[in-house]
Structure 1
Amino acid sequence: MNKLIAATLLLAFTACSPQPAAKKAEAPAAPAAAAKPAPVNVPAGAYTLDKMHSTVVFRVNHLGFSNYTAAFAQFDAKLNFDPAKPELTTLEATIDPRSLTLPAPPAGFKDELVGPQWLNAAQYPAITFKSTKVEVTGANTAKVTGDFTLHGVTKPVVLDVIFNGGYEGHPMDPNARTGFSATGVFKRSDFGIAYGVPAPGSTMGVGDEVSVAIETEFSGPPLVQKPA
């Protein structure tokens, strides 16, 4: 008990003792200059989609319990790209809605989704995107606005795009190559697909918002052989 009393008195004395003056705040150090990205040796020109290294995935909320995830297996794209002038980039892409791929679908489920109540692929056999504007937002990022056509309706959609780099070619891959990641969100009801959208304040149904995630590579101009 004596030890406890002594410790308490010591703490009280310390709290009442004059404290050393606070050290004068020093001016914050100047932030280091942002590192510039390494030059990318990618030639300007026309690029075609490398389908083996590309995916188009979408997600919609299901009953508020999960984000149902599916993809399309057949799609194509054409890209005109100059890394020195990325704002002049143009892109055209096409998706076959009948190539919808689903995780463990029950019998008839895919037919329902490509049918009249949803994608109506028989009447609208293509989903398309054609860029109209490229706004550079960072060293390797941009917002790409384009005319998106789904279910026979065309409206602007914005994709947030990351340029993942590329090269001018390789002896085992004798064409320029470049890669991108992109994400975007749109409301399916804006395109005439409102079936199953939950009532306001409810999650009973399939969400209106559709989020898209794209991973893609493109093959470009042939590798220029340098003199020995």
Structure 2
Amino acid sequence: MTTTRTILIAAAAALLSWTVASAEPAPAPPAATLPAGQYTLDPAHASLVFHVNHLGVSNFTSRFSKFDATLDIDPAHPETARVTATIDPASVEIFGSNLASILKSDKWFNVARFPQMTFKSTKVERTGDKTARITGDLTLHGITRPVVLDATFNGGYGKNSFDPGGARIGFSARGTLNRSQFGLAEGIPSPGTTMGVGDAVQFQLEVEFSRKD
């Protein structure tokens, strides 16, 4: 009886472990197995946030709610990727104040004269298994200058039963620019003081791109 009970317990444990293992989602395929081609931004799963020092006491945070991008990539050769993006400066969002209207004025973004910001990558350098440095031309306030993004590949898949839309790939990226280089010098503190709005602007992106089969 003891032997029979032991066998039954072992069989039940094995069945339970197999059931749990089979219920776990399959691991995402490596980047190289994703289909090559053009991916478009999924705006519902994307954010563009920027931070700038305010009076030396905080890092003021805002975001752009309207932007679009395309990614041409061969995941087996990410260094050949190309990224283009457009940003609507009038979509700047600041909650609970009238600062958004100030930023849209001619002293800042001047959205009436410069209704669009653009970015076009010029070089992609792999810096690790899942990281890369993306150099590109940013046009802001009518001025075009190079900027650098440090990007991280977060994951992706070619096909997934939970996402019938097709292939999907996601990245995080961040960088820094000096706004004075783009003709946006309003409010920059005088040398030796922090009373104003900093020149350095840090920006961060969380983006997902999708591609239909």
**Equivalent residue pairs, number:** 184
Structure-to-structure mapping, 1:1-228, within 5 angstroms: 39-40=30-31, 41-106=33-98, 109-174=99-164, 175-222=166-213
Secondary structure at the counterpart of residue 111 of structure 1: helix
**In structure 2, distance between residues paired with 1:39 and 1:153:** 39
Q: Which has the larger radius of gyration?
A: 1
2:29 and 2:156 in contact (8 A); partners too: no
Q: With structure 2 as the length reference, what TM-score do the two structures score?
A: 0.84
Runs of 4+ aligned structure 1 residues displaced above 6 Å come to: none
Deviation at 1:145, TM superposition (A): 0.2
Deviation at 1:38, TM superposition (A): 6.7
Consecutive unaligned residues in structure 1, runs of 5 or more: 1-36, 223-228
Question: What does the per-residue CA deviation read over 1:104-142, in whole Å, with 9 as the maximum and x for residues that have no partner?
Answer: 114xx3221101000001000001110000010000000
1:181 and 1:216 in contact (8 A); partners too: yes
Identity %: 54
**In structure 1, distance between residues paired with 2:58 and 2:189:** 14
**In structure 2, distance between residues paired with 1:54 and 1:205:** 30
Matching residue's letter, 2:66: Q
**In structure 2, distance between residues paired with 1:111 and 1:68:** 16
| Structure number with higher helix proportion | 2
Q: With structure 1 as the length reference, what TM-score do the two structures score?
A: 0.78
Question: What does the per-residue CA deviation read over 1:153-185, in whole Å, with 9 as the maximum and x for residues that have no partner?
Answer: 000000000011100022332310000000000
RMSD over aligned Cα atoms: 1.3
Consecutive unaligned residues in structure 2, runs of 5 or more: 1-27
1:43 and 1:221 in contact (8 A); partners too: no
Deviation at 1:221, TM superposition (A): 3.7
Matching residue's letter, 1:75: F
Question: What does the per-residue CA deviation read over 1:79-98, in whole Å, with 9 as the maximum and x for residues that have no partner?
Answer: 10111100100000000001
